[in-house]
Amino acid sequence: MSQVTSPEKTQVKSQEKAQEKHGFLKAIGLLFGFCVFLELFLRLFGYGNYTTYRPDERLLWVPEAGHSVTVINHLPETFNDQGFRRAEDVTAKQPGEFRVIAFGDSSTQGWGVGDDSHYSADLEKLLNHTGCTARRFEAIDAGVNAYPNALVAEKLKEVLQDNVVQPDVAIVAYSYNSNFEKLTKLQGPDREAFLRRVKMKAILRRSAIYNFVVEGVLRRLVYYKLRHVIMAGTLSSMGGMEKLDMDYFNQGLQQSLDLTRAHHVQLIFLMLGSKGQTPTEELFPFQKAMLDFAAKEHVPIVNMIPVVSGKDQDAVFLDPVHPSVEGHEIIAEQLLHTVENLPPYDEVCSSTTKSAVAATTTR
């Protein structure tokens, strides 16, 4: 014989369910309201305004044009429509202009330093205060965060083939993102899946809460692991480095050299050291390969490892690999010494010196 529920009990249960539902919705509303408040509050301090990167069929990811701020210090970070870190687009070179362009990863892009403090900006200032007054010097920053050496070479190829920048000197900086080298080999569905992950990360990076929590508070614990999941498809920070493809790396160096020679551009390699690295310790295989290639092919190379190893490491580095403002200044000074001794620089500036001497002797 089944038990019949009284109308009163049914009404009580309905009220209890309604109260539970109301409590749940209220909690959700409070949580949503708190998140909105936190999002807006954090935006007052620069969060939610980090540089985002859009998918690119050729280069996999490129910076979105516009004004943003650096992850640490929240300093101005501006990209033009060409993906260069500068406010204005680079137009066809005019008579009297001498252009230097630097390719690399986040260290070249200027991670954690302002628009006027990365080594390309410093180099431009130094070049325009030399004795070569007949020329206007431009140093263009083409570095992109997280680019491996293979993408650095591909970015150089894209810029030279475009034939707008027409640099006199191209600097190719060593990248520590060796675990991403294999990404450039992705094809078909794998490549499309990766581009979707790039798009997903761009959406996440627009959130101030994500910036603050993941890339700020939990940066060392979560961010780099999350980045590897999104970018490399693995939790391992060594993912992609199990078998270093030295032939592929050397092909990239050779491609860069062949391209610059074909376009009559002087190539310079820049070996960026890490915090605490000394000239006596064993080099990473790609570092050694770049030094060996430069020696074999007579490519000028600026080796920063012995230069910065004797300096206060906390003063010249923001973290294990990224240079500080002072670190960028030191890099620019070393590059200046090399550029001033290059044939293209001597060719355009020696005529200035000769004209000045001639003018003096005829007075």
Q: What single-letter amino acid sits at 238?
A: M
The answer on pLDDT for 35 being more than 90 is yes
Q: Parallel, antiparallel, or unpaired: how do β-strands 60-63 and 53-56 relate?
A: antiparallel
Residue 161 has what pLDDT? 94
Residue 13 has what pLDDT? 75
Residue 182 has what pLDDT? 86
Q: Please state the pTM of the whole predicted model.
A: 0.87
The answer for residues whose C-beta is within 8 angstroms of residue 263's C-beta and 6 or more apart is: 160, 166
Residue 348 has what pLDDT? 86
8 A C-beta contact, residue 265 and residue 168: yes
- Exposure letters 123-139 (e unless 16+ CB within 10 A, then b): bbebbeeeebeebebbb
Tokens of 18: 């309604």
Residue 230 has what pLDDT? 55
Closest CA to 100 of 124, 80, 78, 117: 124
Residue 334 has what pLDDT? 98
8 A C-beta contact, residue 165 and residue 158: no
Neighbours of 297 (CB within 10 A): 13
Work out the pLDDT band at 237, boundaries 50, 70, 90.
Answer: very low
8 A C-beta contact, residue 233 and residue 136: no
Token pair 């990167």 is found at 53
Best-predicted range by mean pLDDT among 22-26, 74-78, 211-215?
74-78
8, 19, 36, 124, 203 from 33: Cα distances, Å: 37, 20, 5, 48, 21
126-146 pLDDT, tens digit each: 999 987 876 899 999 999 999
The distance from CA 267 to its chain's CA centroid, rounded to whole angstroms, is 20
Tell me the torsion sign for CA atoms 263, 178, 102, 199. Answer: positive
Give the relative orientation of helices 285-297 and 246-262 as an angle to the nearest 10 degrees. 40
Tokens of 115: 């628009």
How do the domains of the chain map onto residue ranges? Answer: 53-352
The answer on pLDDT for 241 being more than 50 is no
From the candidate CATH numbers 3.40.50.1110, 3.40.190.80, 3.40.1160.10, 3.40.50.970, the one assigned to the domain spanning 53-352: 3.40.50.1110
8 A C-beta contact, residue 274 and residue 176: yes
Torsions phi, psi for 53 (to 5 deg): -125, 130
Residue 301 has what pLDDT? 98
Work out the pLDDT band at 236, boundaries 50, 70, 90.
Answer: very low
The answer for residues whose C-beta is within 8 angstroms of residue 210's C-beta and 6 or more apart is: 204
Torsions phi, psi for 301 (to 5 deg): -135, 135
Q: How far, in Å, CA of 42 to CA of 51, rounded?
A: 16
Residue 361 has what pLDDT? 35
Share of the chain above pLDDT 70, in %: 88
Q: What single-letter amino acid sits at 42?
A: L
Q: What is the largest CA-CA distance in the chain?
A: 126
SS3 label, residue 68? strand
> Which has the higher per-residue pLDDT, 221 or 111?
111
Residue 21 has what pLDDT? 82
